[in-house]
Structure formats: C-alpha cells, structure tokens
C-alpha cells in the first residue's frame, strides 16, 4: 500500500553521454516522485532513457555518461552529493537494484550462499552463522528451500536464479528497489510467478519499487503510477489505471494501442509509425511531432511544457491539453 509521503524526489534530471566529438543528451529535465511503499513504473520504447534514469538514481552512472543537471533527493537528502561511506550505505542498504538479466550476473563458480552472504557481511555487522541465517531466511522469502543455499548458479533454473538476485537485492531491507526489466529473459509463466512474488514481498516488507519494463500490460497490473518517457523526456505521469483507461498524451495512447488488451474482445494491435528520433538530431518543438497523428502547426516549433491536470489525474506535456 503506498502512502502520500515522498521517498525519492527527482527534479529536472539531465544525463549526457560524452562522445569524442559531440555530447548526446540521453535524459533531459525529467521530474517525478516515488512515494513510500509505491510501485512506480517507467514506460517507453527502447532508447527513451528509462535505464539511464534508473542508473542515475542509484548513482551508478559511469563515464561516458554524466549527470549534468537536476537534483535527486532521497528521504530529504541530496543523493548527488553523497560520497564515500554515505554513498556505499545508500547503494544496497537504502536503494538496491535488480538488473536486466540479473540472473546471469551471479558468479558461476561461487555457490549462491557465498554471493548472498558477501552482500550481508559487507553491509551489515552480521558475520558467520548470523549472516548465513539471514541468507537462509532470504532464500525462504523468495520461495527457494534453504537446503539449496550452497548450490552453484548453474544448478538453479533461470527463474530461481532471478529469485536469488531478488533475495540479494532484498537482504539489506532497502527502502527502494530499482527493477530494470527484472523478468525479461524469463518465459511468461515464470515472469508472472516472480512478479506476484514481488507484489507479495512489497506488501509484507513495505519497500518502494521503480519498475522498468517494455511490457506495458505487466506494468499496469503491477504499478501504482506510471511515468511515460519519449526520446529522453517525461511526457506523462498518471495512476496506472488512468494510463490504461484514459491516457492523455498521444504517445501514451499510441503505446497502449501497440499492446494486446488485458481483457475484452480481441482487437488488431497498431504499432507506432516511424521510429524515435536520433538523439543527436532531435526535432524542433515536440519530439513526438514527426510521429504524432494529432500534431498541430505549433507542435513543430514549440516544445510543450509538463503541466499538472488534477481533473484528469495526470501531468502531461502536450499542446492539445493546454
Ligand atoms: Fe502531438 Fe503536438 Fe501533443 Fe506533441 S504536443 S504529442 S505533436 S499534439
């Protein structure tokens, strides 16, 4: 159950990639909040900047990427100012990460027990039996019998390996877990199983989730609110149910039409014509204008601002709404 208290506040986040001859702006002026106990989803096509935002929030941006603007507050503290021990405590103890294909991130020649105990010993005062007991509890929490603690990664199925990664992400009781395509490499049945387990763990432990996936249907089911990104910008933020039933931004509507509906009669899916713009040659005005069937002349020279529409329960950046 999410509360109204804000856990993470992101304001005007801008991330650039420094090339030899040019600077590519991958994320520009992105703002949103993640509330306590909330699952917040980031949706959008590949390359729209979702993962770049996630890495920036976890302070994992590496050169040539660089956070060049904006602010990230976590529990009222300035995350971009964290260094040394404070930064180490922030990563894993307060914010942990389940990466895309995290199951392949387990070291194949080290038993699972050592990999989870290592995280517990490094970040808590627990060692020896106490750390092993905590590792066994985490295995149980994600539905794996603790007898299997000393097995090697190859002895587990893909779904189980992904569960171990979720156990490692949860073992320090973080307040926020960033999940970037956590189930993409798994078949749909295992995917659903794992998502249901994350929902149950979230209800039990009360952490917040930043959830990134290409699967808009899965996101709508799992998340409380969703932010939709296009070409490095946030274009709409709304409750998941409003994204499903009353999307306001033409891109959100187009994205919704490219996924099979969760219920109701079968309908022909429509893709979105064209491709997202090259970040080195962004169109003037609204970045979605070249693909937008509802574009106005104004859209091709003036970029729409992100505005809050309480009556529509959303924030959106589109001239049609202003
Ligand atoms: Fe379409 Fe114009 Fe709205 Fe952009 S601002 S989404 S081009 S209508």
- DSSP conformation letters of 261-317: -SSSS-------SS-PPPTTSPPSS-TTGGG-TT--GGGGTSPPPPEEEGGGTEEE-
CA of 32 to the centre of ligand 1 (A): 21
Q: What is the pLDDT of residues 168-177, one digit of tens each?
A: 888 888 999 9
pLDDT for position 262? 61
CA of 286 to the centre of ligand 1 (A): 6
Residue 259 CB burial class (10 angstroms; 0-12, 13-18, ≥19):
middle
- Residue 131 pLDDT > 90, yes or no? yes
Contacts of 156 (CB under 8 A, 6+ apart): 112, 144, 148, 164
Instruction: Give the residue-averaged pLDDT of 106-123.
Output: 91
Of 25-34, 43-52, 123-132, 179-188, least confident by mean pLDDT is 179-188
Per the listing, tokens 């962004």 go with: 282
Whether 288 lines ligand 1, by a CB cut-off of 6 Å, is yes
Query: What's the fold here for domain 6-261+288-321?
Result: Rossmann fold (3.40.50)
Ligand 1, pocket-test mutation among 229, 251, 277, 318, most atoms within 8 A of CB: 318
The number of beta carbons lying within 10 Å of the beta carbon of residue 21 is: 5
Instruction: Give the residue-averaged pLDDT of 101-111.
Output: 81
pLDDT for position 193? 78
- The CA-CA-CA angle for residues 222, 223, 226, to 5°, reads 140
CA distances from 101 to 13, 118, 150, 230, 238 (A): 26, 20, 22, 24, 28
CA of 27 to the centre of ligand 1 (A): 19
Alpha-carbon dihedral 186, 189, 190, 192, rounded to 10 degrees: 100
Instruction: Give the residue-averaged pLDDT of 28-50.
Output: 95
Higher pLDDT, 69 or 124: 69
Instruction: Give the residue-averaged pLDDT of 278-292.
Output: 95
- The residue nearest atom 7 of ligand 1, judged by CA position, is 289
Q: What is the DSSP letter of 319?
A: G
Whether 250 lines ligand 1, by a CB cut-off of 6 Å, is yes
pLDDT for position 104? 73
Q: What is the pLDDT of residues 245-267, one digit of tens each?
A: 999 999 999 998 887 766 667 77
- The residue nearest atom 5 of ligand 1, judged by CA position, is 318
Contact 15, 68 (CB under 8 A): yes
Q: Taking the model in full, what pTM does it have?
A: 0.91
Q: SS3 for 104-168, per residue?
A: HHCCCCCCHHHHHHHHHHHHCCCCHHHHHHHHHHHHHHCCCCHHHCCCCHHHCCHHHHHHHHHHH
- Residue 273 pLDDT > 80, yes or no? yes
pLDDT for position 90? 94
Higher pLDDT, 27 or 160: 27
CA of 298 to the centre of ligand 1 (A): 9
Q: Which percentage of the chain shows pLDDT scores above 90?
A: 64
């Amino acid at each position: 159950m999410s509360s109204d208290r804000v856990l993470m506040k992101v304001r005007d986040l801008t991330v650039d990639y420094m090339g030899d001859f040019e600077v590519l702006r991958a994320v520009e002026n992105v703002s949103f909040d993640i509330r306590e106990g909330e699952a917040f989803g980031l949706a959008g096509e590949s390359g729209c900047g979702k993962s770049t935002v996630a890495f920036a929030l976890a302070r994992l941006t590496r050169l040539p990427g660089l956070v060049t603007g904006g602010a990230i507050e976590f529990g009222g503290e300035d995350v971009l100012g964290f260094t040394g021990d404070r930064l180490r405590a922030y990563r894993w103890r307060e914010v942990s990460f389940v990466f895309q294909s995290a199951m392949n991130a387990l070291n194949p020649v080290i038993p699972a027990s050592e990999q989870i105990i290592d995280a517990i010993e490094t970040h808590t005062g627990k060692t020896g039996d106490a750390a092993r007991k905590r590792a066994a509890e985490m295995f149980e929490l994600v539905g794996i019998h603790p007898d299997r603690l000393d097995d090697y990664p190859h002895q587990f199925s893909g779904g189980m390996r992904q569960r171990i990664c979720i156990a490692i992400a949860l073992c320090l009781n973080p307040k926020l877990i960033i999940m970037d395509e956590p189930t993409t490499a798994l078949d749909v049945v295992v995917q659903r199983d794992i998502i249901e387990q994350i929902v149950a763990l979230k209800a039990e432990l009360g952490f917040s989730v930043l959830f990134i996936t290409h699967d808009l249907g899965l996101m709508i089911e799992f998340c409380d609110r969703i932010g939709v990104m296009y070409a490095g910008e946030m274009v709409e933020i709304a409750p998941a149910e409003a994204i499903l039933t009353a999307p306001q931004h033409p891109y959100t509507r187009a994205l919704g039409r490219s996924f099979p509906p969760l219920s109701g009669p079968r309908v022909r899916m429509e893709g979105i014509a064209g491709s997202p713009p090259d970040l080195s040659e962004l169109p003037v005005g609204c970045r979605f204008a070249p693909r937008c069937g509802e574009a106005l002349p104004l859209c091709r020279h003036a970029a729409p601002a992100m505005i809050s529409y309480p009556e529509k329960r959303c924030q959106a950046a589109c001239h049609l709404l202003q």
